[in-house]
Structure 1
Amino acid sequence: MFELSRDSHQPLVDQICERVTQLVRDGQLPAGARLPSIRKLARQVGASPFTVVDAYDRLVARGLIEPHAGRGFFVTQRLLSAPLAAIEALPELGSDALELARQCLQQRGDVIAAGSGFLPESWLLEAGSAGVLTRLVRGRRTRPWLPCPAEGLGELREQIAARLLQHGIAAPAANIVTTYGASHAFDLLARILLSPGDAVLVEDPGYFVLFEQLRAHHVRLIPVPRHADGPDLAALEAAARAHRPRAFFMQTLVHNPTGSSADPAHCHRILSLAEQFGFALVEDDVYGDLYAGSAVRLAQIDALRHVIYVGSYTKLIGPALRVGFIAADAALIAQLVQRKVLSVLSGSTLLESYVSEVLDTGRYRRHVEHTRARLARLRRDTRAALASAGIEFEPAPGQGIFLWGRVPESAPVDELVRRARAHSILLARGSLFSAAQGCRQWLRFNVAHSNSPPLVQFLRESLRAA
C-alpha cells in the first residue's frame, strides 16, 4: 500500500496518517473503499498494531475514514461534505487576495491546494525536525527563550551575510535586519519609504499580497508588464518618466507567479533607470534559492546603492518559521530597526535560533538542493498533465514552485474557480496577480499540488464542456 521511512524524524503514526490522506486526496482510495485491517496494515508497513490503531483513530477523528462494526474501516462516503461546507461558508473562495492568502495558510489535507503558495507539509519536514529544537535547548548556543536583539540574532545575521557573499552580494551583518518573513519586510519598507499618493512601480503579474499591502498605504500602483526575460524595459522607462515613482518592487529570480527569471541585460538596464529617475529598487528574492544555474541579482551588481534586498526562509523551511531579512545601506537599516521596535518590539530568539541551527548544520543546503531537483521533475510532469487537460503555457519552461497557465477564452475563469469549490479544489485566479486587473484568463498552479488526477480530470471535463 505504501512504505514508511525509518530514517525520518516524523513518527510512524503521523506517516501513516499522511500517506492515507494523500491516497484519498489523489483518488487512489475513493469514497467507500475499505482500508486494510489493523493487523494486515501493520504487517505491510512493518509497524506495531498499536501504531496502526492510533493512526486509524486519528483519521476517524478527522472525518477521513469511518469504522463499520465487524467489517473494518472505510473511506467516508461524506468526504467532500466537510471541506465543501467550510469552503461555502466563505463569501467567495479566492475571490480576493486576502481570502486566497487565508486559504493558502490553512493547508487543509482534504482540499487540493492547486492555488497554494506553500510546499506540502511532508516536503518541509525535511529541513527541520524536533531534533533541532532539542539541540537548541540543550546546546551552548543562544538560549531561545531570552529576548532577541532588535536588529536580529547576531549569529543568524552573520550566517545571512556569509550566504549573501556566496551570491556576490557584499552585505555585512551590520547591514542586515531580520523580520517576521518577507511580508513584514515589505510593510516596514513601505512605512519608511512611501507616503500616501506616491507612485510605486510593481510587476504585472506579480505578488498579490504585496499589492494589498501597498494599497493599504494609499500609494498609486503603476503596473509594469513582466515577460519571460524580466520586466518590459520600454514600459518601465515610460512609467518612470511619466510618474516619477518612489520605488519599484521586483522579483529578479523565480518570479511568482510565472516562474521566470530576469536576464543580466535586463538587470543592468533596470539599475540604470533607477539611477536616472531616482527610485529605489526593492528586490524580492524569496524564491531565489530555487534557481538552478549561475544567477545574477540586482543587489549583486548594485552593491546596495539603489537596491534594497529582501529574503526569507519561510517558504522553504516552513510557514510557521516567520523569519526573513532586509539587506540595505546602513542609514536605512537604522531606520528599519527603529520602526521594527515600534511595531513588533523585536524578533523571536526561538525562531531565529531555529533557522540559524538549520543553516549551520547544512540541513538547509541539502534541503534546497533536493527540493530544487524535485520541483524540476514535478514541474515537467505537472505541466504536461495540465496541458493535456487544456491549460495553455508559454514556451519558456521557468523554474520553481509555480506554473502560470492560460485558460481558453471559452471557459470563464471566475466560473471555473467557483465550480472547483464543489470539488474541494483551491484555484488561484490570475486577476489577483495583476495590479491592472488583467490576466483574467490565467491561473497560478503550485506544481507540488497540481499533479493530482482529480484536479486534472476536473479541468479536462470543465474545459471540454465550455
Structure 2
Amino acid sequence: MFTLAKDTAVPLTEQIVRHYAQRIDDGALLPGARLPSVRQLAARLEVSVHTVLVALDRLAGMGYVASRPGAGYFVLRPAGRAAAEAPPPAPPAPATTTAGFTHSALSADATLLQAGAGYLPRHWYEDAIAPATLARSLRESAEAAVVPPVQGLPLLREQLAQRLAQRQIPATAAHLVTSFGASQALQLAARALAAPGDVVLVDDPGYFLVHSQLAALGLRVVGVPREAEGPDLRALAALAEEYRPRAFFTQTLLHNPTGGSTTPARSHRVLNLAEAFDFVLVEDDVYGDLAGDAGVRLAQIDGLRRVVYVGSFSKVLSPSLRVGYLAAAPALADRLVELKLMDVLSGSTLEETLVAEVLRSGRYHRHVLRLRERLARARVAAIAALQGCGLRFDAEAAGGEGVFLWAALPPGVEAPALVEAARAAGIVIAGGHMFSRRGAGLDRLRLNAAWATDARLLGFLRERLGAAGG
C-alpha cells in the first residue's frame, strides 16, 4: 500500500486518484479486480472516508472503476491502454471547405490565430458581463421554473421589444421568439416559410453557413449578387421572376463577408420587389449592434409585415451565450414557436435570464459603444497593414464599420491555396470562394479587423504574396 504525502501541495484526493489510475494504466490492477472497501482504504491511508469517496467517484467519472451497490468498487478496462490502442482520429476536413473552416474557427486550440473568424478576441468580451450580474442571474434562474416558456423567457422578450422599439421596429413580446443563437433562428425561419424543393434566395457572397443550412433542409438555394450598396436589384428582379422564391435571406447592416451595408434607398426597392413577387425577407442582423446610428433596417421600413428579423448576442456579448431571437408577425411567430417546440422543446432559463439582466442593467449598451470605438481603430490599422502586404480594398472599406474586411488578392493568387497554407502555419483565414453559390470569390479573403494586425498574419502574407509577386 502506498503512503500519502501529507507535506505537499498536491491534495490527498488527487494523490489517491493518480496512484490508482497509474496502477490500472500499467496493468497492475486488472479489469474486474475489486478494490479495498472505502473504510479499509480510509484506515490504511489514514484519511477520512469522505476523502476516499471523493477519489473513487473521480476515478469512476474517468472510467477507471465502477461501483456495484453492496459489493464495492471494481476495476474497469485499463483506460490508458485502451486509449493507446484506439484508432487515430480522422484527418480534419480541408480548411477551404465550410466544415473544415468552421471547425478551425470554433477550435479550442489557443495557438490558432483566428484571423478570419467571426468572433472578436476573447479579452474584448471581458467587461461585458459583471460578476454581480452573473450571480443575480444564477439566483433568479434557480428560483424560476426549470425551463422558460417555449416562446422564450418573458423578461427577455420584454427587454428585446424595448430595444426594437428604439430602432423603430414595432415588435411586442408577442412578436418575439427566442432561439439557440441565430443559427437556429434562421433554420426555424426557413422551415416556417419554405418546404423541400422550394427556392430561396441568399446574398452572394453571403454567410456560407446559412447557404449550407438551407441546402441541408432540401431547399434550392440561389445566390443574388451583392454590390457595394446592397443586393443587385436587376439580378434580384430577374431571379424572382424566374424562380418565384419563397424567401430571401439577406444581411442589411455590416454584411458578412463584405462588411458593407445596404443603403436605405436600395432597401426600399428590395421591399418593393418582395411585395411584387410575394416573397418574405429574412433579415439577419447579428452584427447590426456594431453599426452606427445611420443604418436603416428592412424591419424598420416594413414593420414586420414582410420581414422576419433575426438577432443574436453570441457575436457581441459572448460566444458562449447561445441566445438568439426572431421577430415576426404574430401568426408567423406562432408557427415558429411550434417548430421550436418540436426542435428543442425550450431554451435555457439561465442564459436567457443572464442576457435579460445585462440588457436591463445598461451594461450592454456601454459594452457595444466600446466595441464600436475599438473596432474603428482596429480597422484603420488593419487596412494600412494589410495593404502593405499586397492586399487591396474597395474605397468603402476605409470608412466602414464592423468586424469584416473583404480583401482582394494580387493578380494570379487564388484563395484556396493561400487558406490551406495559412492553416498549416496555424492561421485561420477565410477564402472568398466559400461565400459564393456562383463560384465567385477566388480572388478574395475575409479577414477579421480585430485580429488582422497580428505579426504572425502579416509575416505570413508578406512571405506568400511577396513570393507570388516576385
* Bucket of the pairwise TM-score, normalised by the shorter protein: 0.7 to 0.9
Q: Quick check: 1:187–1:213 contact (8 Å CA) kept in 2?
A: yes
> Which residue identity lines up with residue 122 of structure 1 in the other structure?
H
5+ unaligned residues in a row in structure 1: which ranges? 1-85
Q: Quick check: 1:87–1:421 contact (8 Å CA) kept in 2?
A: no
Aligned residue for 1:106, secondary structure, equals: coil
Distance in 2, Cα, partners of 1:359 & 1:175: 19
TM-score normalised by length of structure 1: 0.79
Distance in 1, Cα, partners of 2:144 & 2:389: 49
1:424-435 aligned at under 5 Å gives the runs 424-435=426-437
Count, aligned residues: 379
Aligned residue for 1:221, secondary structure, equals: strand
Could you list the structure 1 runs, at least 4 aligned residues long, displaced by more than 4 angstroms after superposition. 86-89
Q: Quick check: 1:107–1:113 contact (8 Å CA) kept in 2?
A: no
1:262-273 aligned at under 5 Å gives the runs 262-273=262-273
1:87 to 1:424, Cα distance in 2 relative to 1, 3 A: farther
Aligned residue for 1:317, secondary structure, equals: coil
Cα deviation for residue 142 of structure 1 reads 7.5
1:363-382 aligned at under 5 Å gives the runs 363-382=363-382
Cα deviation for residue 421 of structure 1 reads 2.4
Identity of aligned residues (%): 48
Q: Which residue of 2 aligns with 1:329?
A: 329
Q: Which residue of 1 aligns with 2:247?
A: 247
Cα deviation for residue 331 of structure 1 reads 0.6
Residue in structure 2 matching 1:460, options 455, 459, 462: 462
The one-character-per-residue Cα deviations of 1:431-466 (angstroms, maximum 9, x if unpaired) are: 111121211111100111111112111101111111
Distance in 2, Cα, partners of 1:143 & 1:460: 56
> Which residue identity lines up with residue 167 of structure 2 in the other structure?
H
The one-character-per-residue Cα deviations of 1:171-225 (angstroms, maximum 9, x if unpaired) are: 0000100000110001111222111221111111101100000010121111111
1:126-275 aligned at under 5 Å gives the runs 126-138=127-139, 143=143, 146-275=146-275
Q: CA RMSD in A?
A: 1.7
- The answer to whether residue 110 in structure 2 is matched with residue 109 in structure 1 is yes
Q: Which residue of 2 aligns with 1:314?
A: 314
Aligned residue for 2:178, secondary structure, equals: strand
Q: Quick check: 2:207–2:257 contact (8 Å CA) kept in 1?
A: yes
Distance in 1, Cα, partners of 2:163 & 2:314: 16
1:237 to 1:204, Cα distance in 2 relative to 1, 3 A: same
Q: Quick check: 1:137–1:144 contact (8 Å CA) kept in 2?
A: no
Greater displacement, 416-425 / 388-397: 416-425
Distance in 1, Cα, partners of 2:303 & 2:202: 22
The one-character-per-residue Cα deviations of 1:263-284 (angstroms, maximum 9, x if unpaired) are: 1100110010000000000011
TM-score normalised by length of structure 2: 0.78
Q: Quick check: 2:96–2:420 contact (8 Å CA) kept in 1?
A: no
Distance in 2, Cα, partners of 1:192 & 1:206: 21
| Higher radius of gyration, 1 or 2 | 2
Distance in 2, Cα, partners of 1:103 & 1:129: 29
The one-character-per-residue Cα deviations of 1:417-436 (angstroms, maximum 9, x if unpaired) are: 12212321111111111121
Distance in 2, Cα, partners of 1:427 & 1:144: 43
5+ unaligned residues in a row in structure 2: which ranges? 1-87
> Which residue identity lines up with residue 411 of structure 2 in the other structure?
E
Distance in 1, Cα, partners of 2:326 & 2:124: 26
Aligned residue for 2:352, secondary structure, equals: helix
Cα deviation for residue 145 of structure 1 reads 6.5
Aligned residue for 1:117, secondary structure, equals: coil
Q: Which residue of 2 aligns with 1:30?
A: none
1:290 to 1:144, Cα distance in 2 relative to 1, 3 A: farther
Distance in 1, Cα, partners of 2:410 & 2:108: 29
Q: Quick check: 1:114–1:449 contact (8 Å CA) kept in 2?
A: yes
Cα deviation for residue 133 of structure 1 reads 2.0
Residue in structure 1 matching 2:411, options 396, 409, 412: 409
